Amino acid sequence: MSRLGKSWKVIILLCIFFMVTSGCVTQQPTKNVPSSLPSIYTAPIGGFEIGSAVLDPNTTFEAEYVFSSRNWGPGEVKYTVKASYVNGTYINSSYWCCEYPLDIDQTQLHIEPSSFIAEPNHKYKSRVFLNTSSLPKDFFRPPDWVHGGEFSPVNLSISVNLQDNSTQYANDKMNLEQPRPTGGPFSWNTLTIENCSVMVKRGETSKINITFQHDPLAGLRQISFISSQTPLNVTINPSGFISKHFLEFPSVVTIAADPSLIPGIYPVSFMVNGLNDSLQTYCNDNSGWMIPVNVTVM
């Protein structure tokens, strides 16, 4: 090959190098890898930071709402906030109730900001403002405990609309109540375990399903699972996520036994970090509460 031909090859290589480094030639963008997790862990989620509140008359009540875009976006998010009035009575252990929407204008009930452009993997906060003087007069009437207890709570709800109408878990509701002389209502978080009696051979693995349910009166929470100390190898997927009331969050527990592990029964229990309220653990296979998982290694 002549010296001229070699020179042209060098020139071509240098041109290609220059085009790549200067940005004229770009690599194809990396495609999003589909997640194997259910949409409840990947689709947008949101909620009030508190699930219930006690109102005072003639004040402005404020509540913070958090929207987490997770894998969704970019796109526009729009909020609609409404209130409904509940008028109920307990009589002879029976419950009677009716609920109807409240016609409150935007100067008395609104959310800021009510719309914005969301990017993936971001959190956005808005504040809801409610003038309590706009509520029905019966709302602040003292409960009539002599006749079974009349109560008149208000449900404050937020509806979320995404630009492309994608799946979302962002709609939420908060319970607003008048001051009361007694405590309550009381509720708790629940962890349901599919099977609390597990058998696994040495050198092998076994899997069980667990489901977490949020305290109905609690707000949005960032929680994580932790298993008790054990010679077994225990992994939970997913082990951390954003939770909210009225939803179920399933996870898969994988239990592995080392080939050198001595045969026997090894109890495993689960704790949940990030909760402000009590946790009750329930086993489906024996209808028992507060029972650890007994893993029999063979």
The answer to the question of residue 21 being in a domain is no
Which CATH number covers residue 203?
Answer: 2.60.40.10
Residue at which a domain ends, from 177, 204, 219 = 177
Residues 57 and 152 in one domain: yes
Domain count, the chain: 2
Residues 102 and 215 in one domain: no
The answer to the question of residue 27 being in a domain is no
d(CA 62, CA 259): 57
pLDDT, tens digit, for every residue of 263-273?
999 999 999 99
The answer to the question of residue 155 being in a domain is yes
Residues 199 and 171 in one domain: no
Residues 217 and 154 in one domain: no
- Give the angle 29-38-223 at the CA atoms, nearest 5°: 100
Among 118, 121, 210, 126, residue whose Cα is nearest residue 164 = 118
Give the pLDDT of residue 287.
Answer: 59
Give the pLDDT of residue 26.
Answer: 30
d(CA 244, CA 295): 30
The answer to the question of residue 23 being in a domain is no
C-alpha distances in Å from residue 298, one per residue of 52, 111, 166: 49, 59, 47
Residue at which a domain ends, from 113, 144, 177 = 177
Residue 180 CA, distance from chain mean position: 29
Residues 149 and 255 in one domain: no
Domain range for 122: 39-177
Sign of the C-alpha dihedral, residues 106, 110, 113, 115? negative
Residues 115 and 166 in one domain: yes
Left if phi > 0, otherwise alpha if psi is -120 to 50, otherwise beta: which for 148?
left
The tens place of each residue's pLDDT in the chain, 298 residues long, gives: 444 444 444 444 444 443 333 333 333 333 333 458 999 999 999 999 998 898 988 999 999 999 999 999 999 999 999 999 876 554 444 445 677 888 999 999 999 999 999 999 999 999 999 999 998 877 777 666 555 455 567 889 999 999 999 999 999 999 888 776 555 556 789 999 998 999 999 999 999 999 999 888 888 999 999 999 999 999 999 999 999 998 999 999 999 999 999 999 999 999 999 887 788 888 888 756 667 899 999 9
- Percent of the chain exceeding pLDDT 70 equals 77
Residues 139 and 264 in one domain: no
Residues 161 and 237 in one domain: no
The answer to the question of residue 8 being in a domain is no
Residues 162 and 202 in one domain: no
Residue at which a domain ends, from 120, 149, 177 = 177
Residues 201 and 268 in one domain: yes
C-alpha distances in Å from residue 157, one per residue of 40, 69, 92, 247: 20, 19, 31, 16
Give the pLDDT of residue 74.
Answer: 97
For residue 112, the cross-strand partners are 127
The answer to the question of residue 17 being in a domain is no
